[in-house]
Amino acid sequence: MDWQTTADVVPAGFVPEAGALALLGRAPATGAWREGDPVGDRRFVGIGDLPLESGATLPGVRIAYEQWGTLSPARDNAVLVLHALTGDSHVLGDAGEGHASSGWWAGVVGPGLAVDTDRWFVVAPNVVGGCQGSTGPASLAPDRVEWGARFPFLTIRDQVRAQIAFARAIGIERFAAVIGGSMGAMHVLEWAIEAPEAVERIAVLAAPAATTADQIALNSVQIEAIRTDPAFRAGAFYDAADGEGPTRGLALARRMAMLNYRTAAELNDRFERSWQSELDPLGGEGRFAVESYLDFHGNKFTRRFDANSYIVLTESMNSHDIGRGRGGVAAALGMVQAKSLVLGIDSDRYFPLAGQVEVAAGLAHSVHGPAPVVVSSDFGHDAFLIERDVVGTELARLLAA
């Protein structure tokens, strides 16, 4: 998801020129943040060893995070913002040293905005398994070699348990709100069930209670695109002699994902059947504009993400099922005590609205009753990032509740 995470909002009709990809230069083997890179606005905290649902233990876990605003003396104004699949801790701020992209929710979080950093102390961690400072596959394992494909399988629940430990490590016992979209919303639901005493409000944006077979199928082909890239080298590509990483596979996975995140209506309206430059694709030389658009963003994505992290986090999303071991989804939703906002998008073809309908119906303390807030948008799944006015209005209403 590459808005900076999934959106990549560009002006209607924008088509990268043929030389645009060349201007990006050769992609690095990984776009992960590595030790010795500029820290930027990141902070770091260790949470020790992390026991996993699989029975394994991930040793010496570190969380990278960013924060904005001031924690009140009563420590009662903390808001946790959780990112989507390819997001990170950089919710707010410019691109620059240490940050390949500008903040992914700058129109929602900040002074005077819906999540007002003059009022709220906002904290955003990079998820465990990610690639922007928290322990992940590009991090060094105890043998001082990158974890790579040896990195253990993580569930959404594992990641939330790491987030709970992180919150305690920075001295926050209770959040006024926990907010997230897409994968971040999966984490939100687990927070409300795993640590109900630590959550006053939740916002679940564009995510289901459990990942469906269709969604797992969509995810699985992206994973295979990466693994079949010859430069993947079974995940051990960080110090390849030729400097090549699985950038073609990762870019292809990204292109596939963007088709899940956006809609046919948006792509048809924006690009129609136009082609790039003066070369007609029907003549065998040119390319359709939409192809160039997907290529550009796929290749840009490889500059800021890691192929192994993409696999780890996508498999975590496949694991998502709040009802697992809790008597089913309805029973799990019945455990939630927090005031809640559930928001879905009418054109979402990745996590269709039916998933949010199920979540909202099962929550006893929804600020909007037993139905989700429905955003009408041509942007599909990405609308929770792009439709900032309506999303911001609903978040402000939740925070005032």
Indicate which residue of 8, 348, 378, 382 is catalytic.
348
Quote the distance between the C-alpha of residue 51 and its chain's center: 23
Per-residue b or e along 263-278, where b marks 16 or more CB atoms closer than 10 Å to that residue's CB: beebbeebbeeebbee
d(CA 61, CA 15): 42
For residue 44, which amino acid is it? Answer: F
Quote the distance between the C-alpha of residue 374 and its chain's center: 21
Does the annotation count 381 as an active-site position?
A: yes
What six digits make up the tokens of 350? 């990745």
Does the annotation count 348 as an active-site position?
A: yes
Does the annotation count 297 as an active-site position?
A: no
Indicate which residue of 101, 182, 316, 319 is catalytic.
182
Contacts of 399 (CB under 8 A, 6+ apart): 79, 114, 115, 120, 176, 177, 201
Indicate which residue of 89, 134, 381, 382 is catalytic.
381
Considering Cα of 230, then 234, then 237, then 239, what sign does the dihedral take?
Answer: negative
d(CA 168, CA 27): 38
Q: Of how many residues is the chain composed?
A: 401
d(CA 206, CA 380): 10
What are the residues facing 65 on neighbouring strands? 43, 125
Give catalytic residue positions. Answer: 182, 348, 381
